Structure 1
Amino acid sequence: MQQLSILLLILALCVNAANSLNCRCFPGDSCWPSSQEWTDLNTTLGGKLISTVPLGSVCHTRGDSSAYNEHACAKLIADWRFPATHYKSCTSPMASWFSNFSCDPFMPRDSPCTVSALQRYTVNVSSVEDVQTTLRFAREHNIRLVIRNTGHDYLGKSTAPGGLALWMHHLKDTEYLLDYTSDSYHGPALRLGAGIQGFDGMAAAHAQKMVIMAGNCESVGIAGGYSQGGGHGQLASRFGLAADQVLEWEVVTAAGQHLIASPEKYSDLFWALSGGGGGIFAVVMSVTVKAHPEVSTASAILTFSGAFVAADTFWNIVRNFVVGITPMVDAGAVAIWAVIGKTFSLTPISWPGGTVEQLHNGLESTLVLLNQSNIKYAYHIQQFPTFWDSYAAMNPHSNITEAQVGGRLMPRSVLDSDTTRLFTALREITEMGVVVSGVSLNVSRSPEPFNAVHPAWRDAAISVVLGTAYNYTNRQEDVRCQSLMTDVLIPRLTTISPDSGAYLNEADWKQPNWQSTFYGSHYPALEEIKLKFDPDHMFYARTAVGSESWVEESDGRLCQV
């Protein structure tokens, strides 16, 4: 009996040893740093280490992290859908799926509040040294590391259960460079700290009578997953994707090296960072992007309902709109549109460099059909002296997306010659209660920019994003809706566009064959660069380059395959 106990003990030690070698160290493991070691790290960082307290703790009376406060809970629920609620936090993901109901303010207050779905600690980064210190600590203790700015993230890439986060949000420096010069570019540029959001960057550019690429959602960070993943917006048809604007990246590598990656130096790293996905190749401290002179902009919004007409009539008008704006899109316009049930909304179409007359002429066929069908509509069109003025007046403030998303880049060839199949599919999808949204744009460029943006972008006419409902209190229903996205909806669009791909920032996090779908033919080269600059896989994110070498266990523990 004693021999059996010894054998079992040896076996248990072997299993623990194997786990420590093959998995990142997890809270509760013997390898997890002691309280004193965390205190020492905080001292080294000058008090910048933050212990995680979930936002929802004020709504719960049970659990290790509960701190019930009726007034604070009511305010949190009222503010939950505002992006600022989450981007001012160092832990809260805007896509609630990745909180895994662990401390949800919408759940009963006696349901337990735990930190199990979130990182345990966060470093509020203010310097290169902070990043280097954190990297050393994470490597020494084999802890899962994640990079976070705002939490705008549909795929859970900035969430790390049981891990340690680098919070880049307060790196807010900007610098205008009147005469940036390199072998590949000569002109004005703007250097942006890693924490700069769209509204920060556009304001800094506007102060110089310039514009830069930023997202349609004004609170999205520019230097993070947005530009590193491609990045579209209302200036995309005129200037290209956000990744196309990048002139250089200031980074800290996994080895702790502080360097500048540009087309001339560390060109492979520059290429990978510019479109190959965020948070996976290095820690970005700042990005330098092209700045463009301000431009007069025509913009319009349009809303109408098909509730009182035949579905065929409604969808014929939607189809006419999407196909009919193609010449304007080719000339520099971008349209953001959506169909929710039987309602169509355009919010907005922007044409930098276009006139009201040109824009109205391009929309006239849609307006004629609406009038002929006796459909009431709300329509406003206006000329603005600058893009900044147009964006401020016509772009609605974006709240967090309460949906589970999936996406597909729809090629121009489909819009030109296969529109019946496309709009039949979109109609059937909306009839299943799913939101259909589209960004109509043209980011083809000749010659193509030197970056890792999925080649399918250059032939894309629409970035289609679908949204299924998210239920804050019913996980089973959320799983059903997520499965619908993966198993039914996205395959339907893929059948129409088999050789295309998806925008890796607005896609299904359970997308099969994500390597080819998100990265296309660039994936093998991206893998090589990942191994060159991060051979030990310090940086991990779901569906990111190299992530197939790892698996998340049910408790969030990250283990090698």
Structure 2
Amino acid sequence: MVGGAILLALSTAAVLGAVAAGGGPGCRCRPREPCWPSAQAWQGLNRSVDGALVGLKPFSFPCHDPNFDAAACDSVRLQSNGSIWRASNPGGVQWENWDALPAENQTCYVHSARGIPCRQGRVPVYAVLARRADHVQEAVRFAAKNNIKLVIKNSGHDFLGRSAGRDSLQISTYRLKNIAFTDNFVTKGPHGREVSHGAAVHVGGGVGLRELYNAVGERNLVVVAGLSHTVAAAGGYVQGGGHSPLGAWKGMGSDNALEFEVVSAEGKLVIANDQQNSDLFWALRGGGGGTFGVVTRVTLRTWPDVPIQRTVYGIEVPRQYESVFWAALADFHHHLVVLNDAGGAGYYDIKPSPLNATAPLALSGILQFANRTDTAAIQALCKPLQAAWNATLAGAPGAWSYFVADKLHNSTHDMFNEYLPKDRDTLGGTVILTSRLVSRELLSTQEGAVRLSDTLSRLKRSPSRVITGHVVAGGPPAGAIRQQGSGGEDATGLTPAWRRTLTHLTAGQGWDPAVATWEEQRAIMDSVTNGDGALLRALEPDMGAYLNEADVNEPNFQQAFWGSHYPRLLRVKQRWDPRGLFIVKSGVGSEGWDADGLCRLK
């Protein structure tokens, strides 16, 4: 039995368990309403998908009375922080705050007390564990015919909870694992027109990045994708833009998508590329996952693998010299412009809240330079920053810094093998993010870098708080797009703000789900949105946020996530999904629906 799944042999009434509110005009049909499909109808769907339909319960179901099962509960607790297990389990997502519905006391947490009832929360009622595209088609048609909320789950990596949904039917694409290579991918248009795109790989909707990297690495190839085991290339990752440690070398993941195979809201299997359904192709490259259809396959451009130079850096400052720390951080962000323009990309952590009274404030990170083997030249790029740090840190006795081009990987495949050495990422728990894209223009001046440091210094502190920077855009690709003008920025649905971005900053806040009350959780969310988020939004009001790693309550999300592209994205949405079958939280067109995507707003 799939964890969290209950075999369809149980009665519909036993599988349900969600308390349904009354429906009405403009609302989806919900369990226990007369419109809800009969057991026979669900069995008919099951036959049409070759037995791939399962009823769902939260995967922590056996940890709670009256269904407590000690052995099953121990197994769940042992595996609950593994991303592969969570990805393969249709009854859960990667962040457990999205399994639950605490506002209505519908929770089923792994580590909460056995006596607390396990309720359905946002876990869908049923799931189709699709193994082929036609399974997806059948599920889409069934949901449309019966007016049921539809949820698409790939691996469940989603900070906005778009992979879960109360009173819904889930389509799981995790089992679509096909990978195929072509030396010359050609798109065909009307009147016999053909466009050659070079080498590419066709990737099934459920192929995780670790699986994909292994496959391309065996052929001495590389794709532009993220740094994770279980994020799937074809899902919300590439549809939301898709940042990568290779972004400063070859652009965003969405820039490298050549074609999508998509199940539309009508249940049709369509091809979207630069020659066919080009409006849908444009929207799927940055418009957001789960919004325009169900992607069953994506074709990604491949590149010959190259060496990659790693550079490590950091500073530590005694906590009594906090002003020096933030000044040194301004030095770093200002000099990051030159390093990124030279192709530097990577990640860094800012720790402004020491875990104990004697721990220092710290910055640490890695920059990679793809297709660069000149270690001495990279080291020379670092010297101006080292000189600035030496001058600034002189005001803090005991402070120190380093910036060293320390390792040359023979290939990006070697790099990913080192950075993703285990079989899983450790996930689970709860988190709400705030984030912001920070422009190259702001950091091109020391004054702008100081403004950023001042803003970061005013974010809420906690002992576990980490601010993470993602240098995953910019570089030569962004420079080429800037030279092209607005035409280059408009080539995909991705927000134009990404083309101006030097660093993408995130700051998260979590809580203990077994202890925190709903009121306490709301207070944390309010602090994230209206405290830290407001400070970051004020820094550069004309920038925005990366929709895949953003605040679920981001104000004016249309502008923040898509900027000037939103009106066009909405037109594509209305053409391809006029009835709003694919509605996700803070997605294109979601402003016309309630927070659960169950009822249209009047």
Aligned to 1:415: 443
Give the distance between the partners of 1:316 and 1:92, measured in 2 at CA.
43
| Residues 404-445 of structure 1: per-residue CA shift (max 9 Å, x gap) | 101111111211231111101112215366431111231514
Matches within 5 A, 1:100-499: 100=100, 101=102, 102-182=107-187, 185-308=196-319, 310-340=321-351, 341-342=353-354, 343-355=361-373, 356-364=375-383, 369=389, 374-375=398-399, 381-394=406-419, 398-400=425-427, 402-417=430-445, 418-429=448-459, 431=461, 434-440=465-471, 441-442=473-474, 444=478, 445-446=480-481, 447=484, 448=488, 450-473=491-514, 474=516, 475-499=518-542
Conserved in 1, the CA contact under 8 Å of 2:317 and 2:400? Answer: no
Conserved in 2, the CA contact under 8 Å of 1:318 and 1:344? Answer: no
* Aligned partner letter, 2:372: G
Aligned to 1:9: none
Give the distance between the partners of 1:27 and 1:483, measured in 2 at CA.
32
Q: Could you tell me the TM-score, scaled by structure 1's length?
A: 0.90
* Aligned partner letter, 2:519: Q
Shift, 1:366, TM fit: 5.2
Give the distance between the partners of 1:300 and 1:193, measured in 2 at CA.
34
RMSD: 2.4
**Range that drifts further, 540-549 or 462-471:** 462-471
Aligned to 1:24: 28
Shift, 1:184, TM fit: 5.6
Shift, 1:259, TM fit: 1.6
- 1:540 equivalenced with 2:583 (yes/no): yes
Give the distance between the partners of 2:314 and 2:505, measured in 1 at CA.
19
Aligned to 1:4: none
Give the distance between the partners of 1:335 and 1:286, measured in 2 at CA.
28
Give the distance between the partners of 1:315 and 1:204, measured in 2 at CA.
43
Give the distance between the partners of 1:304 and 1:421, measured in 2 at CA.
20
* Aligned partner letter, 1:31: C
Partner SS state of residue 184, structure 2: strand
Aligned to 2:566: 523
Give the distance between the partners of 1:424 and 1:45, measured in 2 at CA.
56
Shift, 1:73, TM fit: 2.9
Q: Which runs of 5+ in 1 are unaligned?
A: 1-15
Aligned-residue identity in percent:
28
Give the distance between the partners of 2:376 and 2:21, measured in 1 at CA.
71
Shift, 1:400, TM fit: 2.5
**Range that drifts further, 118-127 or 95-104:** 95-104
* Aligned partner letter, 1:200: E
* Aligned partner letter, 1:531: Q
Conserved in 1, the CA contact under 8 Å of 2:245 and 2:345? Answer: yes
Aligned length: 540
Partner SS state of residue 437, structure 1: strand
Shift, 1:44, TM fit: 2.1
Shift, 1:225, TM fit: 0.6
Give the distance between the partners of 1:201 and 1:154, measured in 2 at CA.
23
| Residues 263-292 of structure 1: per-residue CA shift (max 9 Å, x gap) | 111110100111111111111110001101
Aligned to 1:550: 593
Conserved in 2, the CA contact under 8 Å of 1:299 and 1:359? Answer: no
CA, structure 1 residues 345+314, in 2 after alignment: closer, same or farther (shift >3 Å)?
closer
Conserved in 2, the CA contact under 8 Å of 1:552 and 1:559? Answer: no
Partner SS state of residue 21, structure 1: coil
